[in-house]
A and B are shown apart, each in its own frame.
Chain A
Amino acid sequence: MIKSFRKNIKGILIEGLTLSSALLIIAIIVVMIVVIVIGGKNQISWEFLTSFPKDGMTKGGIFPAIYGTALLVIIMSVAAVPFGTITAIYLTEYAKENAIIAKVIRFAVRTLAVIPSIIYGLFGLGFFIKFVGVQMDNTFLGGQLKWGQPNILWASLTMALLTLPVVIVSVEEALKTVPKDLRAASLALGATKWQTIWRVVLPGSVSGIMTGTILAVSRGAGEVAPILFTGVAYYVATLPGSFSDQFMVLGYHIYVMTTQSANVDQTLPIQFGTTLVLLALTFILNISAIILRYRIRKKKTN
């Protein structure tokens, strides 16, 4: 049996083609990281991380953007995690498997997850600012403009909506890892359904809820579109001190520096530095989520 040379060549070519396209992916990510790290590493200093931009944002640090990003994701989590967890509890613990209401909710969650983020931004503008905010101003402040304009609260709530599907799906997954046997044990001891959820199911899903939170935070930290119309600012001289203040954010700061800066070349190191900080932040968050998720999976298989 002599191997057909032509067939052999064809096999090698196909394997080579598939391998090179796979390697291309690695190359892209490596180039991306290397370029950002090389460009940004000299920029990173204690001063860069802790000071305000200076000289029309051509010098100085990015502290307000870091602070704003942190505050944004905290307020967002405070809104999205309880809301998402409660929804997930309804779906896994209360709704009947094939009930229409559960199917509709799941469909809505999936739909929320695929809506382009800019649409969330527009929704936030239309709903939170133009409707809720304006109503609040009219009702409580006699029409004086305070809540009917972009601020960190509306931006965070818009972001919370965007990250809600991530939270719901992660928490649902975590709740499902708690064995049915344990629910049965609790109920057989005379616990009510809620006592069972509160004392057995939720403590057993803490790491899943954490994973959902971290994934949501990492998604939220990187997104710009939803906050574009709802609260992020080009530059603010003070840190946000109230829910009605505008704020700066890392992702938007990169956009501003690369497109709106008076001297784009001069601010290049700042752009790289900001990008590196944002990248590092999302990486750290995602890795912690992966580790937590791995632990849950391990627990599930035990």
Chain B
Amino acid sequence: MTVEKIHTENMFLHYGTKLALKDISIKIPEKKVTAFIGPSGCGKSTFLRSLNRMNDLIDGVKIEGNIFIDDINIYDKNIDVVTLRKKVGMVFQKSNPFAKSIYENIAYGPRINGLNDKKQLDEIVETALRNAAIWDEVKDRLGDSALGLSGGQQQRLCIARTLAVNPEIVLMDEPASALDPLSTSKIEELIVQLKENYTIVIVTHNMQQAARISDNTAFFYLGELIEYDKTKKIFTNPDKKQTEDYITGRFG
């Protein structure tokens, strides 16, 4: 029995005068990995950023329709965006550690929530780094700058940083697109482990990646949600011709 974590109803997103997302209605289950695929500019990343309201930061973005998380409309006037983003974490395409130590990168989230107790912070940092499968690589140099880590390590550090805030949902925007194959497979393994405790929504250009790690896949094209189903079904027997054309590499 799957519980629904996120659902949208007839959601439209305007970017200036351009209609970037058209009539998106989707139900995303809890503690599963949901992948968004589609060619560049199809709106999948824009949609992802609507789920933690990061689009609020972009001038000219207007959203119609509703997005519910745990049956709460996150675009309601009374919603505190800061609280929402604690619940809905995000990992970006390009790893973006702060110019601080490894420890302080992870402690950043708890600290902004007012936690300054050294012991508790130590615990959170260790747990987050363990959950992001990077603890063994960095445990002896927590005081070193995070910028000294490799690209793959930096990205796992950013995942750990997100986990340290204790979110329920983790949004990932092409988290492995800038990484080498070995780092990519580490991130993929990690994502599969994470779904035990977190609802994961991942945007990816890499269809094999979507096929390998996701439970459900949504195919976006030109701002529309063309097809959304079990990953297996999407990749073996899609209903729509456009989906089939895309996954077989005929365009995109």
Q: Which residues of A contact B (CB under 8 A)?
A: 96-97, 179, 181-182, 184-192, 195, 199-200, 203-204
Contact = CB atoms under 8 A, between A and B. Distances in A.
Given A192-B82, A200-B98, 18 more contacts: A182-B96, A182-B99, A184-B57, A185-B92, A186-B108, A188-B52, A188-B54, A188-B89, A188-B90, A189-B85, A189-B86, A189-B89, A190-B82, A190-B85, A190-B165, A191-B112, A199-B111, A199-B112
Contacts of A187: 54, 57, 85
A189 B158 CA distance: 10
A97, A182, A188, A189 — which one has the most chain B CB atoms within 10 A of its CB? A188
Interface string B101-118: 000000011011100000
Contact of B96 (A97, A179, A199): A179
Given A190-B85, A190-B112, A185 B158 contact: yes
B121 to A, nearest CB: 15
A269 B52 CA distance: 70
B94 interface: yes
B59 A96 contact: yes
- The 9 residue pairs across chains A and B that have the minimum distance between CB atoms: A190-B86, A181-B96, A188-B90, A189-B109, A190-B85, A185-B96, A191-B112, A195-B112, A190-B82
Nearest to B97: A185
Nearest to B87: A190
B54 A189 contact: no
B31 to A, nearest CB: 21
A188 B111 CA distance: 14
Interface of B: 52, 54, 57, 59, 82-83, 85-86, 89-90, 92, 94, 96-99, 108-109, 111-113, 158, 161-162, 165
Contacts of A184: 54, 57, 92, 96
Q: Report which residue of A96, A191, A199 has the largest number of chain B beta carbons within 10 angstroms of its beta carbon.
A: A191
B57 A97 contact: no
A199 B109 CA distance: 11
Nearest to A97: B59
Contact of A189 (B57, B94, B108): B108
A191 B54 contact: no
26 contacts: A96-B59, A179-B96, A181-B92, A181-B94, A184-B54, A184-B57, A184-B96, A185-B92, A185-B98, A185-B161, A186-B98, A186-B112, A188-B54, A188-B162, A189-B109, A189-B112, A189-B162, A190-B83, A190-B109, A190-B165, A191-B82, A191-B109, A191-B112, A192-B112, A195-B112, A199-B111
Nearest to A203: B99
Contacts of B52: 188
Q: Which of B52, B59, B97, B108 is most buried by chain A, counting CB atoms within 10 A of its CB? A: B108
A187, A190, A203 pick with most chain B CB within 10 angstroms: A190
B241 to A, nearest CB: 37
A144 to B, nearest CB: 50
Nearest to B84: A190
Contacts of A96: 59
A182 B83 CA distance: 19
